[in-house]
Structure 1
Amino acid sequence: MNRRARLIGPEEESRFDAFIAGHPKGHFLQSYGWGEVKATTGWRPLRLVLEEGDRIVAAASLLKRRLPYIGRSILYAPRGPVVDFHNGELFDELLKAIDEVARQEGAILLKIDPDIPDEDEAVKGMLRAKGFRLANKGEGFEGVQPRHVFRLDITPQPEELLARMHGKTRYNIRLAQKKGVVIKDDCTLDDLPVFYELLKETTLRDRFLVRSYSYFVTMWREMVERGYAKLFLAYYQGEAIAGTLAFIMGDKAWYLYGASGNRHRNVMPNYLLQWAMILWARERGCTLYDFRGVPGKLDEDNPLYGLYRFKKGFGGVFTTFIGEYDRVYSPFYYWLWQSAIPLYSRGFRRLLFWRKKAREGAAVEA
């Protein structure tokens, strides 16, 4: 078949996103807007399409990043590429086009982590046959994207979805409603600082890092204003006590960011927020709701069991993806990137630390 591959520009954004949204393996991380978000963090987005006549049949949003010290780059297709992985001919043509982009951009590798279930041995075998190697086993949160998620089929009626939930989850949703928790789902950019303050409170409590406020402003501009994301805030007695950001692409929705304050957690706003997002996704025509990452199946002694139990309670299916696969273009530079540069960087940071200590000691003696 006569197909051609080419990189596209912003004038074809809507056409690109329409293909991503309509494909069974489409994902918001492959959208045009998400590439614009990542462009503010050191990545350069490249959008590649494979066309048959005037119709897109496969695509990839590739993020390029230059590597320190060696003057080369990597390519990463988050939750991509968007192609029928069981169509060998189509995949080969798209991969050939990606390889050419990699050559032009001086890439040492292509990293992919597609939305393919781990039990799909045919795809895993095909990737190995094409020279891909499993980059990590992703047993926890160490992958770029979570390997383990809970996913919920939201095609049943709301009453049936509630009936399928764990009894405690259903109880907590109704408790929040009974206590008077109100969900604001018509948020504007003026509400973003409220959410960000809750997010900072969450990170201090749970000890993880948060991106800058400007990053979330960019996300608002590139995703919320495009209709691919929505902010929800939970209020109790007039006070914002929790918030979430949900993303949507085609018939799928994802829960990406959650935040909660330290006050009034006993009124269970997070449960009602999830229910509000599920109902919103159904109203938008979605059939699948993705709760995103959990650290694998855990026993109750694990400190992360609470997160696992919270998401599991909504009745979703525990899903494991195939993980990250690397297609290596330069074995030497790949080894350098994986082994030598991290060792050098750690050693360099230690050297700077001890030099600083030495200067401080000298200043004290003086």
Structure 2
Amino acid sequence: MKFVVDGDKNQYTDFIKSHPKGHILQSLEWAQVKEENWRSMHVMVEDEGRIRASMLLLLRPLPLVGKYMIYSPRGPVCDMCDFETLKFLVENVKKLAKKHGAIMLKIDPDISIKDREAVNNLKKLGFIQNLEALNFEAIQPRFVFRLDITPSLDELLARFHHKTRYNIRLAQKKGVRVRLGSREDLKEFHRIMEITGIRDGFVVRSLEYFERMYDCLKPKGFMELALAEYDRKVIAGIICLFFGQKCWYLYGASSNEHRNVMPNYLLQWEMIKLAKERGCTLYDFRGVSGDLNPENPLYGLYRFKKGFSGEFTEFVGEYDLVFSPLWYTIFQKGVPVFRDLRRKLTLVLKKAKMKL
């Protein structure tokens, strides 16, 4: 087997597009989205002229210490039960990581918690589970709903919860209109996203970030922005990513006005239809909480996505390969505190700004 660093880009892209574990977050275009704060490398394992495994590696410097963390979102892309190939990949990535002064390699692979062989292989290679995240503590969601969209539209609609079907038809009856948006529409989407963030207590990325996403992904057909309009106003929006035969619902936003006309239900339905038109077989609703207690503030999001009758999927979560135990301990203790303080401060400032 041969380990290739920053090899043929088309070969790399074709591999992850066609692989069952391929993911948009492993694409070179996603690396471009993140390049403001992360530099990237892509690696492949070749064997007898064909690729057997690949990984996108994102490197980020840690403040003040001159060290790096390496993160491979939803990587690696390979058969995680093929231990020899996985071992060859990880051992070579480990050498590369140490060469760049990394304290750790973090992965959150597209592996179901039920796949015990894959989990055991990671442990045999020295990976440790980072945390048992039930809500959204991790970088990527651990719990998602995934919908097989190979059945006909009529069959899909019939499988939805009756309340979901009712809300889709209510939006249509009330005159909600869904259209695909342009780059210029990102400004309005971001404005509504800010309203959503303040209402639900999460920090929203900058408009510049969404514009960079659009510039990197849209020309390749990997991103679509859809907007729901009512009474000539944009009242909700959604961003979906497309790659290979998969579609991911990445961001959603809704204003505080006209929520009773159920625009979010119609947006999801229209994007499911678009995904089918583009040959997708899977629609991923992305994150929900793993705490299914109705008292959980996130239960409403779970109920909304569950109504589309996708499969509730739990991934294995984050696994870390540690190269520097001391710096890793400092990182583990310091980062959550910093993120929580930053989130609280940002929300306070945005709420104050909204009142002005």
Tell me the TM-score normalised to structure 1 length.
0.89
**Offset at residue 307 of structure 1 (A):** 0.7
Map residues 184-199 of structure 1 onto 2, 5 A cutoff.
184-185=179-180, 187-199=181-193
**Offset at residue 297 of structure 1 (A):** 4.1
Cα distance between partner residues in 2 of 1:195 and 1:298: 30
Q: Which residue of 1 aligns with 2:195?
A: 201
Q: Which residue of 1 aligns with 2:348?
A: none
User: Which of 241, 263, 267 is the matching residue for 1:273?
Assistant: 267
User: Which of 75, 78, 97 is the matching residue for 2:70?
Assistant: 75
Contact 1:230 1:245 (8 Å CA) reproduced: yes
Tell me the TM-score normalised to structure 2 length.
0.91
User: Which of 4, 9, 12 is the matching residue for 1:13?
Assistant: 9
Contact 2:238 2:251 (8 Å CA) reproduced: yes
Cα distance between partner residues in 1 of 2:16 and 2:322: 26
Unpaired segments ≥5 residues, structure 2: 343-356
Contact 1:43 1:64 (8 Å CA) reproduced: yes
Q: 1:33 to 1:344 in 2, by over 3 A?
A: closer
Q: Which residue of 2 aligns with 1:167?
A: 162
Which residue identity lines up with residue 250 of structure 2 in the other structure? Answer: L
SS in 1 for 2:78: coil
Map residues 1-366 of structure 1 onto 2, 5 A cutoff.
3-8=1-6, 12-40=8-36, 42-185=37-180, 187-339=181-333, 341=334
Contact 1:108 1:329 (8 Å CA) reproduced: yes
Query: What do the CA deviations read for 1:332-356 (whole angstroms, capped 9, x no partner)?
Result: 22223223x559979x99xxxxxxx
Q: How many residues align?
A: 341
Which residue identity lines up with residue 158 of structure 2 in the other structure? Answer: A
**Offset at residue 300 of structure 1 (A):** 2.0
Contact 2:68 2:101 (8 Å CA) reproduced: yes
Cα distance between partner residues in 2 of 1:181 and 1:85: 45
Unpaired segments ≥5 residues, structure 1: 350-366
SS in 2 for 1:122: helix
Contact 2:135 2:291 (8 Å CA) reproduced: no
Q: 1:212 to 1:344 in 2, by over 3 A?
A: closer
Contact 1:75 1:102 (8 Å CA) reproduced: yes
SS in 2 for 1:39: coil
Which residue identity lines up with residue 146 of structure 2 in the other structure? Answer: R
Query: Root-mean-square deviation (CA), in Å?
Result: 1.9
Q: 1:317 to 1:103 in 2, by over 3 A?
A: same
Contact 1:297 1:308 (8 Å CA) reproduced: no
Contact 2:247 2:282 (8 Å CA) reproduced: yes
